[in-house]
Structure 1
Amino acid sequence: MPRAGLTRDAVVTLALETIDELGLDGLTLAEIAGRAGVKVPSLYKHIASLEVLRSAVATEATRELAQELRVAAIGVSRTAALESLAHAYRGYALRHPGRYAATQRAPLPGEAREEAHALAAAQVQQVVSATLRGYDIADDQLIDATRALRAALHGFCALENGGGFALPANVSDSFSRMLDGLDRMLSSWPA
Structure 2
Amino acid sequence: GIERLGDALQRASSGRSGRDALRAVARAYVDFGRHHPGLYALTLAGADGGDERVRAAGARVLDTVLAVLRGYGLQDEAALHATRFVRSAFHGFAALDRAGGFAMSLDQDASFDHLVDAVDAGLERLANARA
Tell me which interval the TM-score lies in, with the shorter structure as reference length: over 0.9
- Is this contact kept in 1: 2:49–2:55, CA < 8 A? no
Task: Indicate conservation of the 8 Å contact 2:32/2:40, yes or no.
Answer: yes
The structural deviation recorded for 1:138 is: 2.6
Partner residue of 1:159?
96
TM-score, length basis structure 1: 0.64
Query: What is residue 122 of structure 2 aligned with on the other side?
Result: 185
2:92 counterpart of 1:147: no
| 2:35 aligned partner | 95
TM-score by length of structure 2 reads 0.92
Distance 2:74 2:21 in 1: 14
Query: 2: CA distance between counterparts of 1:112 and 1:151?
Result: 21
Give the deviation of 1:125 after TM superposition: 0.2
| Code of the aligned partner of 1:106 | G
Measured on the aligned residues, the alpha-carbon RMSD in Å equals 1.4
Q: How many residues align?
A: 128
| More helix as a share of residues | 2
Q: 1:75 aligns with which of 7, 15, 23?
A: 15
Higher RCO (CA-CA < 8 Å; seq separation 6+): 2
In the alignment, which residue of structure 1 is the partner of 2:3?
63
Aligned to 1:173: 110
Structure 2 residues not aligned, in runs of 5+? none
Aligned mates of 1:139, 1:187 — CA distance in 2 = 16
Which of 118, 133, 139 aligns to 2:70? It is: 133
- Aligned equivalents of 2:16, 2:117: Cα separation in 1: 17
- CA pair 105-172 structure 1, distance change in 2 beyond 3 A: same
- For residue 104 of structure 1, what is the aligned residue in structure 2? 44
- After the TM superposition, list the runs of 4 or more consecutive aligned residues in structure 1 that deviate by more than 2 angstroms: none
1:136-166 CA-to-partner distances (Å, cap 9, x unmatched) read: 0132211100000000000110111011112
Q: 1:184 to 1:112 in 2, by over 3 A?
A: closer
